[in-house]
């Protein structure tokens, strides 16, 4: 009797751990698209960086991961501080699904003091297609330092492709809306399109 109880105590957790590991690592990379830039039109935008989109096949629950790595130069940092001092504007980054068929569900950034926001813009149909990060400490941004912004988007309806756009921005805090509102924005790199499973 004791052997059966002891066996069950060890076998059940081992079985659950095995199932968890299988389901956790089931997603496979399907397609990738990336671009880079070495100069930016907006004075407050990062002068150097890259933007990549990855599509994943997760047993019918397909999703995309968008990642950007940016570097501000000393002129960008000066412009960011001027926007903050003169107009109380905060720098940020924005990744948007241009197909309005994806829902942002997870995001992270190494920008100092990041404030995250997702939006379901007009026509308000298929989830939060836009994800933004705003740096709430503009004086903490340093030149020649790499910062990233990573967003995961869940596919709402089956599509053949997915297109995403990256923008740099300057925003103000709106007490009425309870979030940052973009005053100025400029695209970084070019739109990225990936095939979907």
Contact 102, 162 (CB under 8 A): yes
Share of the chain above pLDDT 70, in %: 84
pTM of the full predicted structure? 0.84
Closest CA to 35 of 165, 148, 169: 165
Task: Provide the pLDDT for residue 5.
Answer: 53
Q: Stretch 9-17: mean pLDDT, rounded?
A: 50
Buried/exposed code over 34-64 (b: 16+ C-beta within 10 A; e: otherwise): ebebeebebbbbbbbbbbbbbbbbeeeebbb
> Which two three-digit tokens encode residue 155?
């596919």
Taken in order of first residue, the domains within the chain and their CATH numbers are 28-195 (2.60.40)
Helix (H) or strand (E) holding 64: strand 63-71
CA distance 94 to 133: 6
Q: What is the 3-state secondary structure (H, E, C) of 85-129?
A: HHHCCEEEEEEEECCCCEEEEEEEECCCCEEEEEECCCCCCCCCC
Name which residue leads in pLDDT, 22 or 197: 197
CA angle in degrees (0–180, nearest 5) for 140-90-174: 140
- pLDDT score recorded for residue 122: 62
Mean pLDDT, residues 100-104 taken together: 90
CA–CA gap between residue 190 and residue 53 (Å, rounded): 12
Residue range 51-82, pLDDT digits in tens: 999 999 998 789 999 999 999 999 999 999 99
pLDDT for residue 196: 96
């Amino acid at each position: 009797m004791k052997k059966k109880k002891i066996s069950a105590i060890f076998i059940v957790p081992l079985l659950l751990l095995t199932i968890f590991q299988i389901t956790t690592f089931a997603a496979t990379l399907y397609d990738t698209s990336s671009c880079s830039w070495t100069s930016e039109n907006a004075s407050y935008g990062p002068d150097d960086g890259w933007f990549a989109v990855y599509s994943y096949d997760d047993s019918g629950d397909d999703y995309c991961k968008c990642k950007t790595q940016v570097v501000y130069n000393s002129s960008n940092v000066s412009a960011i501080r001027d926007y903050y001092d003169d107009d109380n504007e905060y720098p940020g980054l924005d990744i948007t699904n241009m197909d309005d068929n994806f829902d942002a569900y997870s995001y992270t950034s190494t920008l100092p003091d990041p404030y995250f926001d997702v939006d379901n813009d007009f026509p308000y149909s298929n989830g939060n297609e836009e994800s933004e990060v705003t740096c709430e400490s503009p004086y903490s941004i340093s030149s020649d330092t790499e910062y990233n912004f990573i967003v995961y988007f869940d596919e709402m309806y089956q599509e053949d492709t997915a297109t995403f756009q990256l923008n740099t921005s300057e925003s103000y805090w709106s007490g009425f809306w309870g979030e940052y509102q973009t005053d100025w924005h400029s695209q970084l790199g070019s739109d990225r399109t990936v095939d979907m499973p």
